[in-house]
Amino acid sequence: MAVFTRWFSAIISVLIGLPMLLSAVFQSLTLVGYDERPTEEISANYLEGSSEFIDEAQSDCWSVGYAKNIITPDDVGSYRYFLGGFLKFPAQEATGVVDDLSVRAVCLDDNSGRGAVALAWVDGIGFMNADVKAIREKLSDITGEGKLISIDVGSTHTHSGIDTQGLWGNIPKSGRDSKYIDALVEKAADAIRTAYNQRTNGQLYYASKACPELFADTRDPYSIDEKIHLFRFVPNDSGKKEIYIANFGAHPINLGWSNSELSADFPYYIEQAVNTEKNADFIFVQGAIGGGIHSNMDEENGINPELTSYEKMKEYSLIIADVLYDLAQNAERVEPIINVAHAQLDFEVDNFVFKLAERAGLCNATAFKEDGKVYLTSEIGYLEIGKDIKVLQVPGEVMPEIVYGGFYSAEESYNGTEYPYEALNTHFSEEDDVLVFGLCNDAVGYIVPDNDYCNSNEEGHYEETVSTGSTSATTLSKAFMELLDKYN
């Protein structure tokens, strides 16, 4: 009966939405119906960051706070929620809960008096810039010089969470549930506010380790950030918990295509291990996962091949946790310096699928027409933590070669051309550790190098179907180079 209901509901959704879908197709093809640049909307709740960058610490300690809110709804099974991450028809509805989804927030203040930086990561497939701005709006009373100068929200990209983006419903019906998103916005804002209010003084430590065996790049050319990065905050007050901030790039996709139950995937189980073993709070910040960067749960890492995918994921989480413990033990003190800058950029939308999804209203994004082309405004960010930790905040799933190098040559690439820019890490010194905070402040899909972009869905080019278009990479590279030139 449940299967019949799903199919019936999906077919009805298509029939009811058919006029809207046809209208979206017409608008996408003719560019009729697009408004001009919505300047006021674009500038609302956009935070530029630090008023000035500093090179020397103004204090001998950091002030850091943490908070977490559960975002698993109480009515899973009795109310319809769609899982985000696997495109199916009928769309996959959530039938139960394996483990809780959460939003975790951490607030970092270098005590320079300029203000604090808030980071929040949502257990979900992707979070749109308009929803991030809704969170910032709720925090406007603690935003500004000397208070919160940066509020950055990303997603862990779990493929077993509720559709926070809107692309995984019974198309042309959006999978995005407004009631759930409104509640998520409230809980994310509350977590950030609590983290801000609960800041406590202490020392921040950092370490990274190359673990190439734990990750796999499923699209050539093979380029990957092999490192697991850890920030460890140790409060001066021994009665308060330490905070672990972990960053690496891997898709939380391990419960598989057939799964219908909610799960945060490996971030949840790493957190459980850290909570139990170290009595520390935990937040996972997603990295550079473009090209289908996955967890390597093969036997070479000591994971029994006869285990289920869920069991393998739990074992993998414990392996990652062990790496974090080792990093925590060997981490070096980070001087209390945090600089942050943001910039807005326009992605040209020439991918028909993405354009169609926007016109059909599947996700909370508004494209506009300018000079005969369609654009979507997003934002990037740049963080300096201490003196030699540099963070690129990217609004999607960036191909690692754009940051770390390893582009196809003209002869190897799909379009027979060279990528016109150098990798972004070449803008830093060899002493700098360059991190990526991916899916940060927006979810614009895969960012594929222009010279290897294919719009015909050929084998090995899946990522292009979930991308704004053929120039997303050069748009990103150019915007970052302009931003970095101001501060390097």
Q: Mind listing the pLDDT tens digit for each residue in 280-317?
A: 999 999 999 998 899 999 999 999 999 999 999 999 99
Q: Looking at the structure, do residues 271 and 167 belong to the same domain, yes or no? A: yes
Rounded CA-CA distance 227/432 in Å is 14
* Poorest-pLDDT segment among 87-96, 334-343, 379-388: 87-96
- pLDDT category at 175 given cuts 50, 70, 90 is very high
pLDDT, one tens digit per residue, over 72-84 is 999 999 999 999 9
Report the 10 Å Cβ neighbour count for 413: 19
Q: Looking at the structure, do residues 399 and 297 belong to the same domain, yes or no? A: no
Residue 66 lies in a domain: yes
Residue 84 lies in a domain: yes
Q: What pLDDT score does 291 carry?
A: 86
Report how far apart, in Å, the C-alpha atoms of 153 and of each of 79, 260, 269, 352, 371 are: 27, 26, 21, 27, 32
Q: Looking at the structure, do residues 327 and 365 belong to the same domain, yes or no? A: no
Domain boundary at 309, 334, 359, which? 334
446-447 and 397-398 beta bridge pairing: parallel
Report the 10 Å Cβ neighbour count for 96: 11
Phi, psi of 318 (to 5 degrees): -70, -35
Residue 223 lies in a domain: yes
Q: Looking at the structure, do residues 295 and 255 belong to the same domain, yes or no? A: yes
Q: Looking at the structure, do residues 330 and 345 belong to the same domain, yes or no? A: no
CA dihedral 236, 237, 239, 245 (to 10 degrees): -40
The proportion of the chain whose per-residue pLDDT surpasses 70, expressed as a percent, equals: 96
Residue 462 lies in a domain: yes
Q: Looking at the structure, do residues 321 and 362 belong to the same domain, yes or no? A: no
Q: Looking at the structure, do residues 416 and 328 belong to the same domain, yes or no? A: no
Cα dihedral sign, 441-445-446-451: negative
Domain boundary at 334, 355, 375, which? 334
Q: Looking at the structure, do residues 323 and 424 belong to the same domain, yes or no? A: no
- pLDDT category at 25 given cuts 50, 70, 90 is confident
Q: Looking at the structure, do residues 109 and 202 belong to the same domain, yes or no? A: yes
pTM of the model: 0.96
Tell me the mean pLDDT in the region 214-239. 95
Q: Looking at the structure, do residues 92 and 78 belong to the same domain, yes or no? A: yes
Count up the domains in the chain and report the number: 2
The tokens describing 87, both together, are 């495109």
Q: Looking at the structure, do residues 353 and 284 belong to the same domain, yes or no? A: no
Cis peptide before 221, with omega less than 30 degrees from 0? yes
Q: What pLDDT score does 371 carry?
A: 93
- pLDDT category at 5 given cuts 50, 70, 90 is low
Residue 32 burial (10 A CB sphere; 0-12, 13-18, 19+)? exposed
Host domain of residue 204: 62-334
Q: Looking at the structure, do residues 317 and 369 belong to the same domain, yes or no? A: no
Residue 196 lies in a domain: yes
Residue 161 lies in a domain: yes
- Find out whether 435 and 391 touch, Cβ atoms under 8 Å: yes
What is the chain's alpha carbon radius of gyration, rounded to the nearest angstrom? 22
1 pLDDT above the threshold of 50: no
Q: What pLDDT score does 376 carry?
A: 97
Q: Which residues contact 2 (CB under 8 A, 6 or more apart)?
A: none
Residue 172 lies in a domain: yes
pLDDT, one tens digit per residue, over 368-402 is 999 999 999 999 999 999 999 999 999 999 999 99
Q: What pLDDT score does 15 carry?
A: 63
349 pLDDT above the threshold of 80: yes
Domain boundary at 301, 334, 367, which? 334
